[in-house]
Amino acid sequence: MNAPLDVLAVAAHPDDVEQTCGGALIRMAEAGYRTGVLDLTAGEMGTRGSPETRIAESEVAAGHLLLAWRGNLRLPDARLENTFAARLPIAVKIRELRPRTVILPYWQGRHPDHYRASELGYEACFLAGLGKIDEGSSPHRPARVLYSSIYANVTPSFVVDISDQFERRMAALLSYTSQYGEQETGARLFPNEGEIRERLAAVARFYGNLIGARYGEPFVVRETMEVDDLVTFGLKW
């Protein structure tokens, strides 16, 4: 069995984490942590790209993200439902990968798959800690659950400085040439490469500015955070 992951990001579609928490994943990998991504669907209902193409592109992106592991459950795109049958395979993966920290999408959003992925991931983290849920693996419950809030109009609990990781994050996102390459299919729905770069840079600049950095990614926690040292904890005034 491979070594446990330190951080696992759960997302509805390939290319979601590249937009929301890819920079933080790269920074953690560069710090020596083992990181991974579990995509729940292959995005087969999207305007562009086949499931096989999108999964192949996600593997290329995984290299840019410096991931130790990436997988796809192939749950039905645009039809994610919070059922036990959907939660169980996620819980089994969490028991297999044994992450210390799990990153989920923010629990509100325009796309139903995104907030369903948040619900599924949270409840799967709980199920993964139950001894009798799957006799083929041992219980494991992550120590902390974080929510990537980059597209939510909420005050973040904290922001990760991704100034040094932003360009690598963009390279990961642009690995999805079926989605962001120049083509006529869905041209009115999809921004071109220059536009997507400008948009994501603007958002990352906004959050970076909150902590005095060039680029940042925001996160929310539901639980109260504990601080042991009032002198060294991460606060800039």
Strand partners, 104: 147
- CA-based max dimension of the chain: 55
Q: How far apart are CA 54 and CA 42, in angstroms?
A: 6
| Contact (CB, 8 A) for 5 and 36 | yes
Q: How far apart are CA 110 and CA 164, in angstroms?
A: 30
Q: List the single range of 131-140, 153-162, 182-191 with lowest mean pLDDT.
A: 182-191
CATH number of 7-220: 3.40.50.10320
Q: How far apart are CA 146 and CA 33, in angstroms?
A: 16
Q: Write down the mean pLDDT value for the chain.
A: 92
pLDDT at 25 exceeding the cut of 80: yes
Mean pLDDT, residues 38-64: 90
Mean pLDDT, residues 171-177: 94
pLDDT at 20 exceeding the cut of 70: yes
3-state secondary structure of 209: helix
Quick one: pLDDT at residue 60? 97
This prediction's pTM: 0.93
Q: Which residue has the higher pLDDT, 194 or 15?
A: 15
Q: How far apart are CA 16 and CA 96, in angstroms?
A: 23
Quick one: pLDDT at residue 206? 98
pLDDT band at 124 (very low <50, low <70, confident <90, very high): very high
Per DSSP (E only), the strands in the chain are 7-11, 35-39, 69-72, 101-105, 144-148, 158-161, 216-220
Q: How far apart are CA 130 and CA 17, in angstroms?
A: 28
Quick one: pLDDT at residue 26? 98
Q: Which residue has the higher pLDDT, 48 or 142?
A: 142
Sheet strand arrangement including 7-11: 69-72, 35-39, 7-11, 101-105, 144-148, 216-220, 158-161
Q: Could you state, in order of their start, the residue ranges of all structural domains in the chain?
A: 7-220
Mean pLDDT, residues 148-172: 97
pLDDT at 45 exceeding the cut of 60: yes
| Contact (CB, 8 A) for 44 and 15 | no
Quick one: pLDDT at residue 136? 81
| Contact (CB, 8 A) for 72 and 55 | yes
